[in-house]
Amino acid sequence: MADYQYDLVIIGSGPAGEGAAMSAVKQGWSVAVVDDRPMVGGNCTHLGTIPSKALRHAVRRMVQFNTMPMFRAVGDPRWFSFPDLMKSADDVIRKQVEGRTKDYARNRIKLHLGRASFTDAHHISIKQPDHTRETIKGRFFLIATGSRPYHPDDVDFDHPCIFDSDSILSLDRTPRNIIIYGAGVIGCEYASIFAGLDTRVDLVNSRSGLLSFLDDEISDALSYQLRDLNVTVRHNEEYDHIETRNNGVTMELKSGKRIHAEALLWSNGRSGNTKNMGLEELDLVVNERGQLEVNGHYQTTVPHIYAAGDVVGWPSLAGAAYDQGRFAAAHMCGAAREYHVEDVATGIWTIPEISFVGKTESELTEQQVPYEIGRAYFKNIARAHISGEEVGVLKILFHQETLEILGVHCFGAEASEIIHIGQAIMNQSGDANTIEYFIRTTFNYPTMAEAYRIAAINGMNRLCRESRKLVI
Protein backbone atom coordinates (compact mmCIF):
# COMPACT_ATOMS: atom_id res chain seq x y z
CA MET A 1 0.00 0.00 0.00
CA ALA A 2 1.63 3.20 -1.22
CA ASP A 3 1.65 6.28 1.00
CA TYR A 4 1.74 9.59 -0.86
CA GLN A 5 2.18 13.10 0.50
CA TYR A 6 0.56 16.20 -0.97
CA ASP A 7 0.02 19.76 0.16
CA LEU A 8 -3.52 19.64 -1.21
CA VAL A 9 -5.76 16.69 -2.03
CA ILE A 10 -8.87 17.52 -4.05
CA ILE A 11 -11.77 15.10 -4.27
CA GLY A 12 -13.56 15.75 -7.55
CA SER A 13 -12.31 17.05 -10.93
CA GLY A 14 -15.24 19.31 -11.82
CA PRO A 15 -14.97 23.11 -12.06
CA ALA A 16 -14.41 23.67 -8.30
CA GLY A 17 -11.70 21.00 -8.13
CA GLU A 18 -10.00 22.25 -11.26
CA GLY A 19 -10.05 25.86 -10.10
CA ALA A 20 -8.47 24.92 -6.76
CA ALA A 21 -5.87 22.65 -8.36
CA MET A 22 -4.65 25.29 -10.80
CA SER A 23 -4.60 27.99 -8.14
CA ALA A 24 -2.65 25.93 -5.60
CA VAL A 25 -0.10 24.53 -8.03
CA LYS A 26 0.78 28.07 -9.15
CA GLN A 27 1.72 28.73 -5.53
CA GLY A 28 4.25 25.89 -5.69
CA TRP A 29 2.09 23.36 -3.86
CA SER A 30 2.02 19.65 -4.61
CA VAL A 31 -1.53 18.78 -5.66
CA ALA A 32 -3.46 15.56 -6.17
CA VAL A 33 -6.92 15.21 -7.70
CA VAL A 34 -9.04 12.13 -6.96
CA ASP A 35 -12.02 11.21 -9.15
CA ASP A 36 -14.04 8.03 -9.55
CA ARG A 37 -14.59 8.68 -13.27
CA PRO A 38 -11.87 7.60 -15.73
CA MET A 39 -11.93 11.00 -17.46
CA VAL A 40 -11.57 14.40 -15.80
CA GLY A 41 -14.20 17.12 -15.89
CA GLY A 42 -16.69 15.95 -13.26
CA ASN A 43 -20.44 15.94 -13.67
CA CYS A 44 -20.26 19.34 -15.39
CA THR A 45 -18.45 17.88 -18.39
CA HIS A 46 -19.99 14.43 -18.55
CA LEU A 47 -23.55 14.68 -17.23
CA GLY A 48 -24.64 18.27 -16.72
CA THR A 49 -23.61 21.57 -18.24
CA ILE A 50 -21.66 20.50 -21.32
CA PRO A 51 -23.87 17.72 -22.75
CA SER A 52 -27.18 19.46 -22.01
CA LYS A 53 -26.01 22.78 -23.47
CA ALA A 54 -24.55 21.04 -26.54
CA LEU A 55 -27.90 19.26 -26.96
CA ARG A 56 -29.75 22.56 -26.62
CA HIS A 57 -27.51 24.16 -29.24
CA ALA A 58 -28.18 21.32 -31.67
CA VAL A 59 -31.94 21.60 -31.13
CA ARG A 60 -31.80 25.38 -31.57
CA ARG A 61 -29.95 24.99 -34.88
CA MET A 62 -32.51 22.46 -36.07
CA VAL A 63 -35.36 24.82 -35.17
CA GLN A 64 -33.62 27.66 -37.01
CA PHE A 65 -33.27 25.51 -40.12
CA ASN A 66 -36.90 24.48 -39.96
CA THR A 67 -38.32 27.97 -39.41
CA MET A 68 -36.15 30.35 -41.46
CA PRO A 69 -37.54 30.83 -44.99
CA MET A 70 -34.09 31.05 -46.62
CA PHE A 71 -33.40 27.40 -45.74
CA ARG A 72 -36.36 26.21 -47.81
CA ALA A 73 -34.14 26.66 -50.86
CA VAL A 74 -31.93 23.95 -49.33
CA GLY A 75 -34.73 21.53 -48.55
CA ASP A 76 -37.81 20.74 -46.55
CA PRO A 77 -37.84 20.91 -42.73
CA ARG A 78 -35.88 18.07 -41.13
CA TRP A 79 -36.36 16.47 -37.73
CA PHE A 80 -33.57 14.60 -35.98
CA SER A 81 -34.02 12.10 -33.17
CA PHE A 82 -32.95 12.79 -29.60
CA PRO A 83 -30.02 10.29 -29.76
CA ASP A 84 -28.86 11.73 -33.10
CA LEU A 85 -28.75 15.21 -31.61
CA MET A 86 -26.95 13.91 -28.50
CA LYS A 87 -24.09 12.78 -30.74
CA SER A 88 -23.25 16.43 -31.24
CA ALA A 89 -22.28 16.56 -27.55
CA ASP A 90 -19.78 13.71 -27.82
CA ASP A 91 -17.18 15.74 -29.71
CA VAL A 92 -17.57 18.66 -27.31
CA ILE A 93 -17.03 16.39 -24.29
CA ARG A 94 -13.99 14.82 -25.94
CA LYS A 95 -12.39 18.22 -26.55
CA GLN A 96 -13.15 19.35 -22.99
CA VAL A 97 -11.59 16.20 -21.50
CA GLU A 98 -8.56 16.44 -23.77
CA GLY A 99 -7.88 20.05 -22.86
CA ARG A 100 -8.31 19.53 -19.13
CA THR A 101 -6.15 16.39 -19.11
CA LYS A 102 -3.34 18.31 -20.82
CA ASP A 103 -3.66 21.12 -18.25
CA TYR A 104 -3.31 18.67 -15.35
CA ALA A 105 -0.29 17.01 -16.97
CA ARG A 106 1.39 20.32 -17.86
CA ASN A 107 1.07 21.52 -14.27
CA ARG A 108 2.28 18.21 -12.79
CA ILE A 109 -0.95 17.59 -10.94
CA LYS A 110 -1.27 13.94 -9.96
CA LEU A 111 -4.53 12.21 -10.88
CA HIS A 112 -5.80 9.29 -8.77
CA LEU A 113 -8.63 7.19 -10.12
CA GLY A 114 -11.13 5.75 -7.64
CA ARG A 115 -13.67 6.39 -4.91
CA ALA A 116 -12.28 8.41 -1.98
CA SER A 117 -13.26 8.21 1.68
CA PHE A 118 -11.65 9.72 4.76
CA THR A 119 -10.02 7.39 7.26
CA ASP A 120 -8.93 10.26 9.50
CA ALA A 121 -8.43 14.01 9.25
CA HIS A 122 -5.33 13.77 7.03
CA HIS A 123 -5.74 10.48 5.14
CA ILE A 124 -8.11 9.24 2.48
CA SER A 125 -8.48 5.71 1.20
CA ILE A 126 -9.10 5.33 -2.54
CA LYS A 127 -10.97 2.29 -3.83
CA GLN A 128 -9.55 1.80 -7.32
CA PRO A 129 -11.33 0.25 -10.33
CA ASP A 130 -9.58 -3.10 -9.74
CA HIS A 131 -10.93 -3.06 -6.14
CA THR A 132 -7.49 -2.52 -4.61
CA ARG A 133 -6.95 0.41 -2.28
CA GLU A 134 -4.33 3.09 -1.88
CA THR A 135 -4.00 5.68 0.86
CA ILE A 136 -2.79 9.23 0.35
CA LYS A 137 -2.03 11.90 2.89
CA GLY A 138 -2.65 15.62 2.58
CA ARG A 139 -2.09 18.77 4.60
CA PHE A 140 -5.27 20.31 3.18
CA PHE A 141 -8.32 18.86 1.46
CA LEU A 142 -11.01 20.25 -0.80
CA ILE A 143 -14.28 18.35 -1.17
CA ALA A 144 -15.58 19.16 -4.64
CA THR A 145 -17.70 16.12 -5.38
CA GLY A 146 -20.63 17.97 -6.95
CA SER A 147 -24.23 16.83 -6.79
CA ARG A 148 -26.62 14.27 -8.23
CA PRO A 149 -30.36 14.28 -8.99
CA TYR A 150 -32.58 13.85 -5.95
CA HIS A 151 -34.43 10.50 -5.96
CA PRO A 152 -37.55 10.07 -3.81
CA ASP A 153 -38.02 6.53 -2.54
CA ASP A 154 -41.38 6.00 -4.21
CA VAL A 155 -40.22 6.66 -7.78
CA ASP A 156 -38.83 3.68 -9.72
CA PHE A 157 -35.83 5.09 -11.56
CA ASP A 158 -34.95 1.61 -12.84
CA HIS A 159 -38.03 1.67 -15.08
CA PRO A 160 -37.07 2.28 -18.74
CA CYS A 161 -39.53 5.18 -19.08
CA ILE A 162 -38.43 7.12 -15.96
CA PHE A 163 -35.38 9.37 -16.12
CA ASP A 164 -33.51 11.97 -14.11
CA SER A 165 -31.39 14.79 -15.52
CA ASP A 166 -28.37 12.44 -15.72
CA SER A 167 -29.99 9.39 -17.26
CA ILE A 168 -32.06 11.41 -19.76
CA LEU A 169 -28.86 11.89 -21.74
CA SER A 170 -28.95 8.18 -22.63
CA LEU A 171 -32.52 8.33 -23.96
CA ASP A 172 -32.56 6.11 -27.06
CA ARG A 173 -35.63 7.58 -28.76
CA THR A 174 -37.64 10.76 -29.18
CA PRO A 175 -40.81 10.41 -27.08
CA ARG A 176 -44.03 11.74 -28.56
CA ASN A 177 -44.90 13.17 -25.16
CA ILE A 178 -43.09 13.61 -21.87
CA ILE A 179 -43.92 14.64 -18.31
CA ILE A 180 -41.31 16.86 -16.66
CA TYR A 181 -41.82 16.97 -12.90
CA GLY A 182 -40.13 20.01 -11.41
CA ALA A 183 -40.10 23.42 -13.08
CA GLY A 184 -36.77 24.63 -11.77
CA VAL A 185 -33.88 25.60 -14.03
CA ILE A 186 -33.26 22.06 -15.32
CA GLY A 187 -36.95 21.35 -15.83
CA CYS A 188 -37.51 24.56 -17.81
CA GLU A 189 -34.41 23.97 -19.92
CA TYR A 190 -35.47 20.46 -20.88
CA ALA A 191 -39.06 21.60 -21.47
CA SER A 192 -37.84 23.96 -24.20
CA ILE A 193 -35.44 21.32 -25.59
CA PHE A 194 -38.15 18.67 -25.96
CA ALA A 195 -40.63 21.22 -27.30
CA GLY A 196 -38.06 22.03 -29.97
CA LEU A 197 -38.11 18.32 -30.88
CA ASP A 198 -41.89 18.59 -31.37
CA THR A 199 -42.50 16.48 -28.27
CA ARG A 200 -45.65 17.35 -26.32
CA VAL A 201 -44.52 18.46 -22.86
CA ASP A 202 -46.40 18.58 -19.55
CA LEU A 203 -44.33 20.69 -17.14
CA VAL A 204 -45.54 20.11 -13.58
CA ASN A 205 -44.66 22.91 -11.18
CA SER A 206 -45.29 22.72 -7.43
CA ARG A 207 -45.20 26.52 -7.17
CA SER A 208 -47.44 29.30 -8.44
CA GLY A 209 -45.03 30.58 -11.10
CA LEU A 210 -41.88 29.70 -12.98
CA LEU A 211 -38.48 30.37 -11.41
CA SER A 212 -39.61 32.71 -8.64
CA PHE A 213 -36.08 34.11 -8.23
CA LEU A 214 -36.35 35.75 -11.64
CA ASP A 215 -37.61 39.27 -12.20
CA ASP A 216 -41.39 38.98 -12.65
CA GLU A 217 -41.30 40.35 -16.18
CA ILE A 218 -38.70 37.78 -17.25
CA SER A 219 -40.59 34.94 -15.58
CA ASP A 220 -43.73 36.01 -17.44
CA ALA A 221 -41.81 36.10 -20.72
CA LEU A 222 -40.54 32.57 -20.12
CA SER A 223 -44.06 31.35 -19.35
CA TYR A 224 -45.39 32.91 -22.54
CA GLN A 225 -42.56 31.46 -24.63
CA LEU A 226 -43.01 27.94 -23.26
CA ARG A 227 -46.73 28.07 -23.94
CA ASP A 228 -45.99 29.38 -27.43
CA LEU A 229 -43.91 26.20 -27.89
CA ASN A 230 -47.01 24.18 -26.90
CA VAL A 231 -45.69 23.30 -23.44
CA THR A 232 -48.51 22.71 -20.96
CA VAL A 233 -47.41 24.31 -17.68
CA ARG A 234 -49.30 23.05 -14.62
CA HIS A 235 -48.76 25.30 -11.59
CA ASN A 236 -49.48 24.50 -7.93
CA GLU A 237 -49.47 20.76 -8.57
CA GLU A 238 -47.78 17.92 -6.67
CA TYR A 239 -47.62 14.26 -7.57
CA ASP A 240 -49.49 11.71 -5.52
CA HIS A 241 -48.17 8.54 -7.13
CA ILE A 242 -46.78 7.21 -10.38
CA GLU A 243 -48.03 4.17 -12.29
CA THR A 244 -45.79 2.48 -14.83
CA ARG A 245 -46.47 0.30 -17.81
CA ASN A 246 -44.31 -1.18 -20.55
CA ASN A 247 -44.64 1.76 -22.91
CA GLY A 248 -45.05 4.73 -20.59
CA VAL A 249 -46.08 6.23 -17.27
CA THR A 250 -49.10 7.79 -15.64
CA MET A 251 -48.68 10.46 -12.99
CA GLU A 252 -51.61 11.10 -10.69
CA LEU A 253 -51.51 14.52 -9.08
CA LYS A 254 -52.87 15.39 -5.64
CA SER A 255 -55.48 17.51 -7.38
CA GLY A 256 -56.89 14.33 -8.94
CA LYS A 257 -55.57 14.95 -12.46
CA ARG A 258 -53.97 12.05 -14.33
CA ILE A 259 -51.27 12.70 -16.94
CA HIS A 260 -50.07 10.05 -19.38
CA ALA A 261 -46.82 10.11 -21.33
CA GLU A 262 -44.22 7.88 -22.95
CA ALA A 263 -41.53 9.19 -20.58
CA LEU A 264 -41.11 10.97 -17.25
CA LEU A 265 -38.19 13.28 -16.49
CA TRP A 266 -37.81 13.85 -12.75
CA SER A 267 -36.06 17.18 -12.18
CA ASN A 268 -37.10 18.07 -8.66
CA GLY A 269 -33.89 19.04 -6.88
CA ARG A 270 -30.36 17.75 -6.41
CA SER A 271 -28.36 16.26 -3.53
CA GLY A 272 -24.70 16.73 -2.64
CA ASN A 273 -22.39 13.80 -3.36
CA THR A 274 -21.27 13.16 0.21
CA LYS A 275 -22.42 9.60 0.89
CA ASN A 276 -19.90 6.98 2.00
CA MET A 277 -17.06 9.50 2.22
CA GLY A 278 -16.26 8.86 5.88
CA LEU A 279 -17.31 12.37 6.87
CA GLU A 280 -18.76 11.04 10.10
CA GLU A 281 -15.21 10.12 11.11
CA LEU A 282 -14.42 13.84 11.10
CA ASP A 283 -17.69 14.97 12.71
CA LEU A 284 -18.61 16.73 9.48
CA VAL A 285 -22.38 17.03 9.28
CA VAL A 286 -24.34 17.40 6.04
CA ASN A 287 -27.87 18.80 5.67
CA GLU A 288 -30.92 16.91 4.40
CA ARG A 289 -29.72 17.48 0.83
CA GLY A 290 -26.27 16.08 1.53
CA GLN A 291 -24.62 19.51 1.38
CA LEU A 292 -21.76 20.75 3.55
CA GLU A 293 -21.83 24.06 5.38
CA VAL A 294 -18.81 26.34 4.87
CA ASN A 295 -17.71 29.76 6.06
CA GLY A 296 -16.74 32.76 3.95
CA HIS A 297 -13.43 31.11 3.03
CA TYR A 298 -15.11 27.80 2.05
CA GLN A 299 -13.79 26.09 5.19
CA THR A 300 -15.83 23.37 6.86
CA THR A 301 -15.87 22.97 10.63
CA VAL A 302 -12.56 21.13 10.24
CA PRO A 303 -10.27 24.08 9.36
CA HIS A 304 -7.94 22.27 6.94
CA ILE A 305 -10.85 20.69 5.02
CA TYR A 306 -12.62 22.95 2.56
CA ALA A 307 -15.60 22.40 0.26
CA ALA A 308 -16.74 24.18 -2.91
CA GLY A 309 -19.11 23.82 -5.84
CA ASP A 310 -22.49 22.12 -5.89
CA VAL A 311 -21.66 20.17 -2.73
CA VAL A 312 -22.09 23.40 -0.72
CA GLY A 313 -25.32 24.41 -2.48
CA TRP A 314 -25.97 27.92 -3.81
CA PRO A 315 -25.39 29.11 -6.46
CA SER A 316 -24.73 25.70 -8.08
CA LEU A 317 -23.25 27.22 -11.23
CA ALA A 318 -20.16 25.91 -13.01
CA GLY A 319 -18.55 29.34 -13.37
CA ALA A 320 -19.14 30.15 -9.71
CA ALA A 321 -17.82 26.72 -8.66
CA TYR A 322 -14.54 27.34 -10.51
CA ASP A 323 -14.06 30.63 -8.67
CA GLN A 324 -15.05 29.08 -5.34
CA GLY A 325 -12.29 26.50 -5.82
CA ARG A 326 -9.77 29.18 -6.74
CA PHE A 327 -10.55 31.33 -3.74
CA ALA A 328 -10.58 28.37 -1.36
CA ALA A 329 -7.09 27.44 -2.55
CA ALA A 330 -5.93 31.05 -2.24
CA HIS A 331 -7.04 31.08 1.39
CA MET A 332 -5.25 27.80 2.13
CA CYS A 333 -2.05 29.11 0.56
CA GLY A 334 -2.23 32.40 2.42
CA ALA A 335 -2.45 34.34 -0.84
CA ALA A 336 -3.50 37.96 -0.52
CA ARG A 337 -6.43 37.64 -2.89
CA GLU A 338 -9.57 36.38 -1.20
CA TYR A 339 -13.08 36.84 -2.47
CA HIS A 340 -16.37 35.14 -1.63
CA VAL A 341 -18.49 34.36 -4.66
CA GLU A 342 -21.74 36.25 -4.12
CA ASP A 343 -22.92 38.60 -6.86
CA VAL A 344 -22.75 36.17 -9.77
CA ALA A 345 -24.39 36.36 -13.16
CA THR A 346 -26.88 33.53 -13.58
CA GLY A 347 -27.47 31.86 -16.93
CA ILE A 348 -30.50 29.68 -17.76
CA TRP A 349 -30.32 27.89 -21.10
CA THR A 350 -33.93 27.73 -22.11
CA ILE A 351 -34.84 28.57 -25.72
CA PRO A 352 -34.37 31.53 -25.77
CA GLU A 353 -32.01 31.83 -22.85
CA ILE A 354 -32.17 33.96 -19.71
CA SER A 355 -29.46 35.69 -17.72
CA PHE A 356 -29.43 38.22 -14.92
CA VAL A 357 -27.28 39.88 -12.29
CA GLY A 358 -28.26 42.07 -9.35
CA LYS A 359 -31.66 42.94 -7.92
CA THR A 360 -35.15 42.28 -9.27
CA GLU A 361 -38.03 44.76 -9.26
CA SER A 362 -39.72 42.88 -6.41
CA GLU A 363 -36.58 43.02 -4.26
CA LEU A 364 -36.10 46.73 -4.84
CA THR A 365 -39.76 47.46 -4.11
CA GLU A 366 -39.60 45.46 -0.88
CA GLN A 367 -36.42 47.32 0.13
CA GLN A 368 -38.09 50.66 -0.75
CA VAL A 369 -35.36 51.62 -3.20
CA PRO A 370 -36.49 54.26 -5.73
CA TYR A 371 -35.64 52.80 -9.12
CA GLU A 372 -36.36 53.36 -12.77
CA ILE A 373 -36.39 50.90 -15.69
CA GLY A 374 -34.73 51.07 -19.09
CA ARG A 375 -35.73 48.51 -21.73
CA ALA A 376 -34.49 47.52 -25.15
CA TYR A 377 -36.64 45.07 -27.09
CA PHE A 378 -34.77 42.79 -29.46
CA LYS A 379 -37.43 43.38 -32.14
CA ASN A 380 -36.05 46.95 -32.44
CA ILE A 381 -32.36 45.98 -32.73
CA ALA A 382 -30.71 45.66 -36.14
CA ARG A 383 -28.48 42.73 -35.18
CA ALA A 384 -31.54 40.77 -34.02
CA HIS A 385 -33.19 41.46 -37.39
CA ILE A 386 -30.10 40.08 -39.13
CA SER A 387 -29.89 36.93 -36.99
CA GLY A 388 -33.63 36.34 -36.97
CA GLU A 389 -33.61 36.25 -33.15
CA GLU A 390 -36.14 39.01 -32.48
CA VAL A 391 -37.76 37.57 -29.33
CA GLY A 392 -36.28 39.13 -26.21
CA VAL A 393 -35.63 42.14 -24.02
CA LEU A 394 -32.76 43.72 -22.10
CA LYS A 395 -33.93 45.38 -18.90
CA ILE A 396 -31.81 47.67 -16.72
CA LEU A 397 -32.88 48.70 -13.21
CA PHE A 398 -31.15 51.82 -11.88
CA HIS A 399 -31.46 54.19 -8.91
CA GLN A 400 -33.59 57.27 -9.65
CA GLU A 401 -31.25 59.63 -7.81
CA THR A 402 -27.72 58.23 -8.05
CA LEU A 403 -28.30 56.48 -11.42
CA GLU A 404 -26.39 53.47 -10.04
CA ILE A 405 -27.17 50.25 -11.90
CA LEU A 406 -29.00 47.92 -9.51
CA GLY A 407 -29.86 44.99 -11.73
CA VAL A 408 -29.65 43.78 -15.32
CA HIS A 409 -32.03 41.17 -16.74
CA CYS A 410 -32.00 39.70 -20.22
CA PHE A 411 -34.32 37.30 -22.02
CA GLY A 412 -33.40 36.32 -25.56
CA ALA A 413 -30.73 34.84 -27.78
CA GLU A 414 -27.19 35.10 -26.34
CA ALA A 415 -28.50 36.55 -23.06
CA SER A 416 -25.76 34.78 -21.10
CA GLU A 417 -23.13 36.60 -23.19
CA ILE A 418 -24.89 39.98 -23.22
CA ILE A 419 -25.26 40.08 -19.43
CA HIS A 420 -21.54 40.37 -18.73
CA ILE A 421 -21.35 43.91 -20.11
CA GLY A 422 -23.81 45.04 -17.45
CA GLN A 423 -22.06 42.96 -14.80
CA ALA A 424 -18.72 44.62 -15.57
CA ILE A 425 -20.14 48.14 -15.24
CA MET A 426 -22.06 47.28 -12.06
CA ASN A 427 -18.80 46.23 -10.41
CA GLN A 428 -17.03 49.52 -11.11
CA SER A 429 -16.42 51.92 -8.24
CA GLY A 430 -17.46 55.53 -7.76
CA ASP A 431 -19.75 57.02 -10.38
CA ALA A 432 -18.47 54.66 -13.09
CA ASN A 433 -21.27 52.18 -12.33
CA THR A 434 -24.14 54.37 -13.44
CA ILE A 435 -26.46 54.03 -16.41
CA GLU A 436 -24.85 57.10 -17.95
CA TYR A 437 -21.90 54.91 -18.97
CA PHE A 438 -24.02 53.32 -21.69
CA ILE A 439 -25.18 56.69 -23.02
CA ARG A 440 -21.71 58.21 -23.34
CA THR A 441 -20.14 55.04 -24.80
CA THR A 442 -20.15 54.33 -28.53
CA PHE A 443 -21.13 50.73 -29.37
CA ASN A 444 -20.35 48.83 -32.54
CA TYR A 445 -23.28 48.76 -34.95
CA PRO A 446 -25.00 46.44 -35.56
CA THR A 447 -24.46 44.43 -32.37
CA MET A 448 -26.59 43.03 -29.58
CA ALA A 449 -24.43 45.06 -27.16
CA GLU A 450 -26.12 48.15 -28.59
CA ALA A 451 -29.15 47.11 -26.55
CA TYR A 452 -27.46 48.69 -23.52
CA ARG A 453 -27.42 52.12 -25.19
CA ILE A 454 -31.05 51.78 -26.27
CA ALA A 455 -32.15 50.64 -22.79
CA ALA A 456 -30.15 53.40 -21.08
CA ILE A 457 -31.70 56.13 -23.24
CA ASN A 458 -35.15 54.62 -22.67
CA GLY A 459 -34.61 54.63 -18.90
CA MET A 460 -33.21 58.16 -18.74
CA ASN A 461 -36.07 59.49 -20.84
CA ARG A 462 -38.51 57.94 -18.37
CA LEU A 463 -36.66 59.62 -15.53
CA CYS A 464 -36.42 63.01 -17.19
CA ARG A 465 -39.92 63.15 -18.69
CA GLU A 466 -41.23 65.55 -16.05
CA SER A 467 -38.47 68.08 -16.68
CA ARG A 468 -38.79 67.53 -20.46
CA LYS A 469 -34.99 67.20 -20.60
CA LEU A 470 -35.12 64.07 -22.67
CA VAL A 471 -32.06 62.17 -23.83
CA ILE A 472 -31.75 62.03 -27.61
Q: Are 84 and 215 contained in the same domain?
A: no
In angstroms, rounded to a whole number, what is the distance separating the alpha carbons of residues 454 and 423? 17
Task: Report yes or no on 346 lying in a domain.
Answer: no
Helix ranges (DSSP H) in 375-450: 382-387, 415-426, 436-439
Show the 3-state SS of 149-199: ECCCCCCCCCCCCEEECCHHHHCCCCCCEEEEECCCHHHHHHHHHHHHCCC
For residue range 229-263, list pLDDT tens digits in order. Answer: 999 999 999 999 999 998 899 999 999 999 999 99
* pTM summary value: 0.93
Quick one: pLDDT at residue 76?
Answer: 83
Structurally, the chain folds into a number of domains equal to 3
Q: Are 7 and 135 contained in the same domain?
A: yes
Task: Report yes or no on 103 lying in a domain.
Answer: yes
CB 14 within 8 A of CB 309: yes
- Of 65-74, 240-249, 449-458, the one with minimum mean pLDDT is 65-74
Query: Is pLDDT at 1 greater than 50 in this prediction?
Result: no
Q: Are 326 and 360 contained in the same domain?
A: no
Mean pLDDT, residues 103-131? 95
Q: Which domain holds residue 239?
A: 162-268
Q: Are 11 and 73 contained in the same domain?
A: yes
Quick one: pLDDT at residue 54?
Answer: 95
Domain boundary among 219, 238, 268: 268
Q: Are 364 and 316 contained in the same domain?
A: no
Percent of the chain with pLDDT over 70: 96
pLDDT confidence tier of residue 83, bands split at 50, 70 and 90: very high
Q: Are 136 and 33 contained in the same domain?
A: yes
Domain boundary among 280, 299, 333: 333
CB 58 within 8 A of CB 78: no
Task: Report yes or no on 342 lying in a domain.
Answer: no
For residue range 136-161, list pLDDT tens digits in order. Answer: 999 999 999 999 999 999 999 999 99
Q: Are 208 and 253 contained in the same domain?
A: yes
CB 397 within 8 A of CB 364: yes
Task: Report yes or no on 470 lying in a domain.
Answer: no
Q: Are 448 and 398 contained in the same domain?
A: yes
The CA dihedral of 135, 140, 146, 152, to the nearest 10 degrees, is 70
Mean pLDDT, residues 418-429? 94
Task: Report yes or no on 364 lying in a domain.
Answer: yes
Task: Report yes or no on 155 lying in a domain.
Answer: no
Q: Burial code of 381-409, b = ≥16 C-beta within 10 A, e = fewer? A: bebbeebebebbbbbbbbbeeebbbbbbb
Q: Which CATH number covers residue 243?
A: 3.50.50.60
Q: Are 184 and 123 contained in the same domain?
A: no
Q: Are 189 and 275 contained in the same domain?
A: no
